[in-house]
Structure 1
Amino acid sequence: MKLAYIGTYPPRECGIGTFTQNLAHSMLENGKGVKEIMVFSMNDHNQKYPYPPEVKLSINQEQQTDYLEAVNYINLSGADACILEHEFGIYGGLSGIYILPLLHRLNIPLITTLHTILETPSYNEKAILKEICKMSDKVVVMSHKAIHFLVETYDVPKEKIVLIEHGVPDIHFDKEQSRTEFKLNEKKLLLTFGFIGRNKGIETVIKALPQIIEKHPEALYIVLGKTHPNVLRHSGEEYRNYLQVLIKSLKLNDHVLLLNEFIDENELFKYLSACDIYITPYLSEAQITSGTLSYAMGAGCAVVSTPYWHAAELLAENKGRLFDFNDSDGLSEVLNELLENPENLHQIQENAAEYGQDIIWPKIGQKYTELITQVLSKPKEPLPKKENAIDPLLLPPFSLVHIKRLTDDTGIIQHAKFGIPNLKEGYCLDDNARALLMVCMTYKQKKDPLALEFMPVYLSYIHYMQNKDGTFRNFLSFNRNFLDEKGSEDSFGRTIWALGYLLGNAPNDAYYQTGKLVFFDAVPNFDNIKSIRGIANTMIGISHYLRTNASDDAMKETLDKLANILVTHYDQNRTEDWKWFESLLAYDNGILPLALLHAAEVLEDGDISKVAFDTMDFLTEHTMKDDYLSIIGNKDWYVRDKERSMFAQQPIDAEAMVLMYHQAYVLTGNRDFLKKLFTSFMWFLGENDMRMSLYDFETKGCCDGFENYGVNRNQGAESSLAYLISHLTVLQAYEESFQLEEIKTTKGTKLTLKELQD
C-alpha cells in the first residue's frame, strides 16, 4: 500500500508537521501493508526547507497552482489513499479554501484528520469544512467533543467519523537520571511547553507562583518553546517581553526560566520525565485537540490544566486536575495540594502513564492503517466532477519582479524601453494609483511582503500629487518636478478607485488613515467630473468604500447620482442595434458596465443592473470573437456604422473585460461569466488576433499592446499592472468558484457570491 500525506512537515517548526511525520513513519514501520509513503508539505510565506526524501513536492501556502500540481502528482503516482492533516492556518486563501480544488481533483480515497473544529465558525469556515468532510471517505477526530460538533454543527454523518487519539512517541527516560542531567535534583519542576502566544495563559502560572514559593521555595517553572511564528511575524516578542517584565516585577527571576527553543522529541521527553507537574493554562475552552497535553500524558506526567475541551475530557478519572481560566489563586491551591501530597501526585502520574501507553505512535499508526484498509475494501462512489471554467495551471507564476524593477523610492516609473525603466518619462498618477490597487490586491490574496513594502511608496506619491482643492496633478519628472497643474479626470477616477479599495482592505491603521485623508479631501470634486470614464472609475472606488462603510448615506447618494449620469448617457445614445453609452466604442470600454455592476450591487438597483448587463452583452458581442477576445483597437476605435479598428489593442482593455466579467459573476453566480473572464485573461497569453503572448516570461512584464507591425515590446507600468491585476482577479475568481455557489442551502438552492458576501 502506497500512501500520500498532505500537511506541514519537519524541518518546518510546526506541531502539525511533527504529527504528520510521526503518523507517516509509524504507519510505514508498524502498519501492516504500508510499503511506501509520500509527503506533500505546506510551505508558509514562500519559505524554503531542506525536506527529507519522502517529501516529493512542497506547496507554497498562497500559490494556488502548487495545489493543482500536487494533486496531479498524487493522481499519477500510484498512491492508494491520501491522508490530509487539516488546520485552518496552514492552507491558503480565505479560511484555507485553496485546499478544496486539490481535493475536488483527487482520484483516490481521502482520510482527513481534523486538528481544529470550531464551535461557532464563520460562514466560510463552516462551508469549507463541510466540503472537506463531504469529500472525505473518513474523518478522524481526537475527542468525543469533536464528534458532537461535527454532527450537530457541520451535519457530518456520524458513521463517517472515527475517533483516534493523538499519538505520542514511545520514548521513556529515567526520572532521577533526567533530573540529575538538568541539575534539578533539589527542585520541584513545573513545566509548560509548546509555541508561545497570548492565548497560552503563561501569565496565570507566573502570577500563581508567589503563593507556591511561599510553601515550596524549591519550585521552578520552566516554559519551553519558541514564540509562535505567526505571532512573531505580526507582534514580534511582545508577549515574551511582557512575561519577562512580569517575572521581574514579582521577583521571580530565580523561579521562572523561559527557554526560547524548539527542541527535538528526545530532549522534550527528557524534560517531561524530569518534571513533577505539567501545566496547560490556556485562556479559552475552544481547543478541541492539544498535542502538548497528549505528550505530557504519554510521558506519565501529572497534568494540571484549565478546562478547555480536550483537557476536560482527557483528565477525567483522576488522570489530572483542572482549575478555572485566568484563576491564579485556584491554580496555586491545586499545585500546593499536589506538592504536599506525594501519594496523590504519584497516583495521577501512574494513571496518566497507563493511558499514555495506549496512545503511543505504533498503536495509533496501526489504527490508521486498519482504517485505510477498511476504506479500500469498499468500492468508492466517485463524486461528480465539475467542469472548471478556469485552469490556474495555464497561468505563469505570479511575480512582482518587473514591478520591483520599475519602482523606486518616489513611485513607479511610467514607461519602459523593452523591459528597462525609461527614466526620461518620469512618473504619473494613473500608474501609481493602479500600482496601489495591485499591491493591495496582492497583499490581501498572497500576503506578499514585497507588496506591503511597495504600498507606502505608491500611497505617498498619491498624497504628494494632491492639490489643496483635493484634485490631483498627474505627471512628475524623474527629478521630481511637477509637469502639470491638474491631471485628467481619468487619473482622478483611477486614484479614487485605488483609495476606495485601500479603505476596505488596508493592512494596518496607518495606511487606512492616510488613504482616508486623501480620499475625503478629494470628495468635493466628485460632482465636477464630466468624463464618463472618470465617473466610472470614481464609482468603482466609492463602491469599494461603501462595502465596509454601508451607513454612509451621503456617499450612497453620490454613487446613485454618478450612476444615473452613465444611465442618461446610455439612454441618449442607444438604438435598437447600438446599446452603448457613446456613439463609438473607444478605450477602456469594459470599465463602464463594470462601474454600473458595482453600483447595482451596492445600491441594489434593478434599473442600473439592467443597463449594466445590456451594455456588457453589447460589448461582448463586438469583442468576443471565435472564442477569444478581440479588443477594439485604439488607433481609430469603432465609430457606429463604420469599420472597427483592429490595431493598437491595449492591455487596459483586456483588464477591464476581466474585471467586468468577474463582477458579473459575483452578482449572478453564473459560471458562463467565469469562462468569459478566463477567455479575456488569455488575451495576454496569446489567445488574441495576433496569436502572440504579450506577457514576457523572461522579464515578468507585459508588453504595451499590438500595433499593425506586431507586438509593442515596451513594458511600461500601465500594461504590466493591467496584467497583474487581471492575474489576481482570475485567481480570486477561481477561489470564489469553490465557495458558497457550490454549497447548497437547506432548501436545495444555490447561493450567489453576492449572497455569500452579505
Structure 2
Amino acid sequence: MKLAYIGTYPPRECGIGTFTQNLTKSMLGMDKQAGPQNEILVVAMDDNDQKYAYPPEVKLSIRQEQQTDYLEAANFINLSGSDVCILEHEFGIYGGLSGVYILPLLHRLDIPIIVTLHTILDSPSYNEKAILKEICKMADKIVVMSQKAIVFLTQIYEVPQEKIVMIEHGVPDIHFDKQKSKKEFKLQKKKLLLTFGFIGRNKGIETVIKSLPGIIEKHPEVLYIVLGKTHPNVLRHAGEEYRNHLLLLIKNLNLQSHVLFLNEFIGETDLFKYLAASDIYITPYLHEAQITSGTLSYAMGAGCAVVSTPYWHAAELLTQERGRLFGFNNHEELTGILNQLLDHPETLKKIQANAYEYGKNIIWPKIGKKYLQLSKAILAFPKQEIEKKETPIDLLLLPPFSLMHIKRLTDDTGIIQHAKFGIPNLKEGYCLDDNARALLMVLMTYKQKKDETALEFMPIYLSYIHYMQNKDGTFRNFLSFNRNFLDEVGSEDSFGRTIWALGYLIGNAPNDAYYQTGKLVFFDAVPNFEKLQSIRSIANTIIGICYYLKTNASDEHMLEILKSLTAKLIQHYEDNHSENWKWFESLLAYDNGILPLALLHSAQIIHDDKVTEVAMETMDFLVEHTLKDGTLSVIGNKDWYYRDGERSFFAQQPIDAMAMVLMFYQAFLLTGEKEYLHLLFTSFMWFLGENDLRMSLYDFETKGCCDGFENYGINRNQGAESSLAYLISHLTVLQAYEVFYQVDVLENSEMEKALHN
C-alpha cells in the first residue's frame, strides 16, 4: 500500500511535524527480513518562506500562503499512485482565512482521505466551523484523539458518528532508567518538576512558578525545568516578552536556584531522558480548550506522574489514578498537591505505574497499526462520491506572484513612476498616484501572503504619501529624483487614489504605527472630500471611505460624506444616461470600471436600491462594450469612445483591466453570483494574452507588466502604474478564489455574512 501524508514535517520545529514523522514511520510496516511493507510519501507544509532540508520521504512542499502550491500538490498526489491520503489538520498550518486553502486541494484528490484533527474548537467562528465541516464531509474517516472530540464533532459540527474513529496520540517506544537519567543530568539530589513544549502565554507557567515558594519550604531540593523554545508565531509577533516576564517573576520570588529554562527544541531521545528523570510532570494550561496535548501523551507514555489543570484532554486522560488535577490559575492548590505527592513517595510511584501501564498501549507501533487497519478498511469500499467544487478561476494559469520588478523600481524615497523597458527611468522621478497604488498593493500582498518584502516596502510608500501632503490636507503629486517638488497641488485623481489606499490601510494595517499614521493623513484630507469635482476622484474616494467604514461603522459623519459623494456619482449618471447609453459621461474614457466599482462598494455600505441599480446597469453597459466576444477589449486611450462615435482599440492600458477585475470581484461580493468570477478571470487573462493582440503584457523575465499596447504592438516599457495594476489584479484573483471556497461551504444563512465581511 502506498500512503501519502500532508502536514508539517521535521526539520520544521512543530509538534504536528513530529507527529507526522512518527506516524509515517509506524505505518511502514517493517518486516525484519523483507523490509518495509508499505510505501510512503510526504507533502510538507512550509511557513513564511522558510526553507527546510527535508528527508527523502518528503517529495513536495507547499508554501503556506501560496494557493497554487496546493493545487499542484493535489495533482502530484493523484499521479503518485498513492492509495490513501492522510491529512494532519490544524487551522494554523494552512493558508488563507481559517486555513481555507486546504479545501481546493482536498476537492481535487481522487483517493480516499483520512483526516487527523489536532484541534477542535467548541466555539468556532462561522468560517472555522464551515471549513472544518467541509473537511469532514470530504474525509472518508476522521481520526480524533479523545472522547470529548467525538462529542464536539457530532454535536457542534454535525459529523456522522460512524465517520469518526478514536485513535490515541502515539508516543515513542523509548524508556530510560530514572536513576541513570538523573545521574546523566547531575540531578541525583533533586526532586525534578518538568514542563516541556513550545512556550507561550497560554501555557500558564507562571502558575507553577508562583506555587514554588510554598513547596521549597518543605522540599528545598525541588528544581523546576521548563524545556522548550518560545513558539515561532509568538516569537515573530511578541518576541521573548513572555519568557522575560517569567524570568522577572522568578527573580522577584528569589527562585533563581530552583527554576531552569532550557531554550531548546530537543530530539525525542533526549526528551525521554528528561521525562524519565522527572519526578512530576506539570501541564498548567490556562484554559480548558485543548482537545489534544501531545506533551501530555508523551509524559504518560514515559510513565510520569502528571499534575495538570483540567483542560479537556487532561481531564479525560488523568482518570483512574493516572494523575492529579488542579484549578486554572490556582497556584495555592497546585502547591498543596505537589507537596502531598512529594510527601508520599508511595502515592507518586502508584501514579507513575498507572501512567506507565496506559502508555504501553499508545506506543507508535500500536498506533501505526490502527491507522493501517483503518486505511485497509477504507480501501475495501468504494470511495465516497463528493460533489466537486468548480470555479472558473484556474490558478495554475497564473505566473508565480513576484515583487521582483517592484523591488527594482523602489528606492528609499518611493517607487519610480516610469521605466525604460524593465529598467527604472530615474529622470521621471516619483508620483503620488503610483506610491498610493504601491501602498495598496503591498498591503494586499501582506494580508494575502504574509510576504516580508511587502512589509518592508510599506513605510516607504506611506512616508512618501505623508511627505506629499499639504497643510490643507491636499497632496502634491510629482517629486523629482533629487526630491524637489514639481507641483503645488496634484490632480484630483491622485488625491482619490491616495484616499483609497489610506482607507484600505486603516482597515488592514499590520501594526499600530501604520494604522495611526494612515489615520492621521486620511483625516487631514477629509475636509477636501466634498470639494471634489472629477468623477474618478470621487469614485476612488468613495472606495477609500468604504474600506474605512468597514472597520469604523459607527462613524456617522463619514457615512454622510459617503452618501453625499455617492449622490454626486448618481447625479452624473442621471445627467448623461439614455436608453442606449447607460453611463456617467458622454464618453467611455479611461479607468472606466472604477465608476461602477465605487457604487458597488457604496451599495454594500449604505444599502440603497438606487445605488445598486445604477451600479449594475453601468457595469452591464461596460460589459456590453468591452466583453462581447468572451475576451476583454478595454477602451483604447488613443481616442476613447464617444457616444455615437467609433471606439478606440489602441492605447489599451493595464489600469483599465485592473478596474474591470476589481469591479467583477466586488459584484461577486455583493451578489454571491459565480458568473462574476468568470468575468473577473476573463478580465485578468487580458494581461496574459487573452486580448485583441493575443500578446502577453506580463514579462515573465523581468516580472513586470508592459505599459499597454498600440497599433504597432506591445509598449515594452514597464512602469509602476502598469506593474502595480497587474499585481493588484493578480492578488484580487487569489482573493476571489479564496472567498469562493469560503462562501461555497457556508449555509445560506451564513453566506451573506461572509460576503459582507
> Which TM-score tier does this pair reach, normalised by the shorter chain?
over 0.9
Report matched runs for 1:192-231 at 5 Å. Answer: 192-231=195-234
SS in 1 for 2:85: strand
Q: Distance in 1 between matches of 2:285 and 2:497?
A: 48
State the shift of 1:751 in Å. 5.5
State the shift of 1:253 in Å. 1.2
2:624 pairs, out of 609, 612, 621, with 621
SS in 1 for 2:361: coil
Aligned to 2:396: 393
Aligned to 2:25: 25
Aligned to 1:451: 454
Aligned to 2:41: 38
1:441 pairs, out of 429, 444, 461, with 444
Q: Deviations over 1:504-534 (max 9, x none)?
A: 1111111111111110110110111000000
Q: Which amino acid aligns with 2:554?
A: S
Determine if the alignment matches structure 1 residue 515 to structure 2 residue 513.
no
Once structures 1 and 2 are overlaid, which stretch shifts more, 250-259 or 672-681? 250-259
Report matched runs for 1:198-347 at 5 Å. Answer: 198-347=201-350
State the shift of 1:380 in Å. 2.0
Q: Distance in 2 between matches of 1:741 and 1:132?
A: 13
Q: Deviations over 1:249-273 (max 9, x none)?
A: 2111111110001110001001101
Aligned partners of 1:34 and 1:369 also within 8 Å: no
Aligned partners of 1:593 and 1:612 also within 8 Å: yes
Aligned to 1:662: 665
Determine if the alignment matches structure 1 residue 404 to structure 2 residue 407.
yes
Aligned partners of 1:429 and 1:475 also within 8 Å: yes
State the shift of 1:381 in Å. 2.9
Determine if the alignment matches structure 1 residue 15 to structure 2 residue 18.
no
Q: Deviations over 1:653-712 (max 9, x none)?
A: 000000000000001111110000000000001110111111111111111110111111
Aligned to 1:690: 693
Q: Which amino acid aligns with 2:75?
A: N
Matched length: 754
Aligned to 1:609: 612
Q: Distance in 1 between matches of 2:268 and 2:595?
A: 61
Aligned partners of 1:282 and 1:325 also within 8 Å: yes
Q: Distance in 2 between matches of 1:268 and 1:751?
A: 46
SS in 2 for 1:362: helix
Q: Deviations over 1:456-512 (max 9, x none)?
A: 111111111011110000000111110000000100000000000001111111111
TM-score by length of 1: 0.98
Q: Distance in 2 between matches of 1:335 and 1:751?
A: 48
Aligned partners of 2:140 and 2:384 also within 8 Å: no
Aligned partners of 1:741 and 1:751 also within 8 Å: no
Aligned to 2:580: 577
State the shift of 1:386 in Å. 3.1
Determine if the alignment matches structure 1 residue 559 to structure 2 residue 557.
no
Q: Distance in 1 between matches of 2:210 and 2:582?
A: 73
Inter-CA distance 506–358: structure 2 relative to 1 (3 Å threshold): same
Q: Deviations over 1:211-241 (max 9, x none)?
A: 1111111111111101100011011111111
Q: Distance in 2 between matches of 1:742 and 1:394?
A: 24
Q: CA RMSD in A?
A: 1.2
State the shift of 1:754 in Å. 5.4
1:350 pairs, out of 332, 353, 357, with 353
Once structures 1 and 2 are overlaid, which stretch shifts more, 301-310 or 371-380? 371-380
Q: Deviations over 1:611-638 (max 9, x none)?
A: 0000000000100132110010000001
SS in 1 for 2:411: coil
Aligned to 1:731: 734
Q: Distance in 2 between matches of 1:184 and 1:251?
A: 21
Q: Distance in 2 between matches of 1:466 and 1:527?
A: 18
Q: Which runs of 5+ in 2 are unaligned?
A: none
Aligned partners of 1:650 and 1:705 also within 8 Å: yes
Aligned to 1:116: 119
Aligned partners of 1:442 and 1:728 also within 8 Å: yes
Q: Distance in 2 between matches of 1:508 and 1:755?
A: 24
Q: Which runs of 5+ in 1 are unaligned?
A: none
Q: Distance in 2 between matches of 1:257 and 1:586?
A: 70
Q: Distance in 2 between matches of 1:752 and 1:424?
A: 50
Determine if the alignment matches structure 1 residue 73 to structure 2 residue 76.
yes
Q: Distance in 1 between matches of 2:752 and 2:82?
A: 36
Determine if the alignment matches structure 1 residue 181 to structure 2 residue 184.
yes
Q: Distance in 2 between matches of 1:221 and 1:695?
A: 60
Report matched runs for 1:423-572 at 5 Å. Answer: 423-572=426-575
Aligned to 2:4: 4
Q: Distance in 2 between matches of 1:72 and 1:495?
A: 42
Q: Distance in 2 between matches of 1:207 and 1:742?
A: 46
Q: Which amino acid aligns with 1:330?
A: E
Inter-CA distance 512–107: structure 2 relative to 1 (3 Å threshold): same
SS in 2 for 1:696: coil
State the shift of 1:30 in Å. 5.1
State the shift of 1:743 in Å. 2.6
Determine if the alignment matches structure 1 residue 757 to structure 2 residue 734.
no
Inter-CA distance 754–707: structure 2 relative to 1 (3 Å threshold): farther
State the shift of 1:643 in Å. 0.9
Aligned partners of 2:670 and 2:756 also within 8 Å: no
State the shift of 1:399 in Å. 0.8
Q: Which amino acid aligns with 1:302?
A: A
Aligned to 1:161: 164
Aligned partners of 2:672 and 2:755 also within 8 Å: no
State the shift of 1:741 in Å. 3.3
SS in 1 for 2:223: strand
State the shift of 1:753 in Å. 5.0
SS in 1 for 2:743: coil
Determine if the alignment matches structure 1 residue 150 to structure 2 residue 153.
yes
Q: Which amino acid aligns with 1:209?
A: L
2:64 pairs, out of 61, 75, 82, with 61
SS in 2 for 1:66: helix
SS in 2 for 1:384: coil
SS in 1 for 2:175: coil
Aligned partners of 1:590 and 1:653 also within 8 Å: yes
Q: Which amino acid aligns with 1:5?
A: Y
Aligned to 2:368: 365
Q: Distance in 1 between matches of 2:30 and 2:557?
A: 69
Inter-CA distance 178–752: structure 2 relative to 1 (3 Å threshold): closer
Q: Distance in 2 between matches of 1:691 and 1:318?
A: 74
Q: Which amino acid aligns with 1:460?
A: S
Aligned partners of 2:130 and 2:745 also within 8 Å: no
Aligned to 1:632: 635
Q: Deviations over 1:538-594 (max 9, x none)?
A: 000001001111111111111111111111111111111111111110000000000
SS in 1 for 2:116: strand
Q: Which amino acid aligns with 2:7?
A: G
Aligned partners of 1:668 and 1:752 also within 8 Å: no
Aligned partners of 1:30 and 1:365 also within 8 Å: no
Q: Distance in 1 between matches of 2:524 and 2:624?
A: 40
State the shift of 1:756 in Å. 4.1
Percent pairwise identity: 76
TM-score by length of 2: 0.98
SS in 2 for 1:629: coil
Aligned partners of 1:176 and 1:185 also within 8 Å: yes
Aligned partners of 1:497 and 1:537 also within 8 Å: yes
SS in 1 for 2:729: helix
